[in-house]
Amino acid sequence: MEPTIVVTGATSGLGRLAAIKLAQQGARIIITARSQQKAEQTCQEIGADRVDAFLGDFTRLDDVRRIGHEIADRYDHIDVLVNNAGIHAFQPRTTPDGYPEMVAVNYLAPWLLTHTLLPALQRAPAARIVNVASEASRRHGTLRIPQDLTDTSPFSARGSSERYGKTKLLDIMFTMELARRLAGTTITANCLDPGFNTTGLGRELRFAGILEKVLSRLRIGDPARGTGLIVALATDPRFTGRTGGYYTVRGTRQLQPTPPGNDPSVQAQLWYETQQLLDPVAR
């Protein structure tokens, strides 16, 4: 029986490549997208008979919850959830819900979507959750929970890297705590560092297109590497039953999160504060 796999952020970058590869392996693909035009283009690339698209804006948590419920209502079960959608914003923006944009899209949205899809994942014989994190998490500055979840203070383009890294550390911590909470169930949760990839590189920078072409010609940042690890964590028998891991494309080896993100008590605190914050929309 073909697996049913949800891939967020699948209309560009690593998500698109992973969705195509997973479909080639025989999976039924469910993608999320903000743009109907991009969703249609991606569906044509994958093959209209193998993919369904759900439209919504991940800066709006009501949209995230709606998409989750729509997917859960349509499908008997979900075998794999790949939380890939993300953004590196080079200037501060606040979402309609009042959250910092990078925190909302990179962390709160996947937390909420995972929460909403858990019943469908539990109906699968053996489900996997794969969260795309990053080694940028090691340059996160000072972690402050719960303040970081709602911090809309200004930052510069240079300072954006620290904010982005912090959201990726939150993803890793979320994965570790989720794996503990799912222990003894049929669901595993792992995250990964996809390495440096030119696909979608710094899309907000004016020179991003030129830089991507130059790096591609130099064969720097091949997105196939990051895509391969996403696909492996989603489907490879090597990872059956393995949970709570943070893996890198560099030798497909397991990494330890940078402190304090490696502290189970801090991971549990993050979960609690996130749950309290999103309780009104998660119900």
The residue annotated as part of the active site, out of 164, 246, 247, 272, is 164
pLDDT at 282: 87
Q: What is the pTM of this model?
A: 0.92
Q: Could you report the per-residue pLDDT of 29-62, keeping only the tens digit for each? A: 999 999 999 999 999 999 989 999 999 999 999 9
Q: How far is the CA of 89 from the CAs of 17, 146, 167, 177, 242, in angstroms?
A: 22, 21, 12, 27, 33
Residue 75 is a catalytic residue:
no
Residues 133-168 as b or e (16 or more Cβ within 10 Å = b): bbbbbeebeebebeebbeeeeebeeeebbebbbbbb
pLDDT tens digit at each of 283 positions of the chain: 799 999 999 999 899 999 999 999 999 999 999 999 999 999 999 998 999 999 999 999 999 999 999 999 999 999 999 999 999 999 999 999 999 999 999 999 999 999 999 999 999 999 999 999 999 999 999 999 999 999 999 999 999 999 999 999 999 999 999 999 999 999 999 999 998 654 554 555 454 444 344 434 534 346 677 899 999 999 999 999 999 999 999 888 999 999 999 999 999 999 999 999 999 998 7
Asked if 188 contacts 129 with a C-beta cutoff of 8 angstroms, the reply is yes
pLDDT of residue 197: 52
Sign for the CA dihedral angle at 266, 233, 30, 205 comes to positive
Q: Give the model's pLDDT for residue 218.
A: 38
- Tokens coding 11: 């209309």
Summarised one tens digit per residue, pLDDT across range 177-196 is: 999 999 999 999 999 999 86
pLDDT recorded at residue 222: 63
- Residue 199, pLDDT score: 54
Q: What's the pLDDT score for residue 210?
A: 45
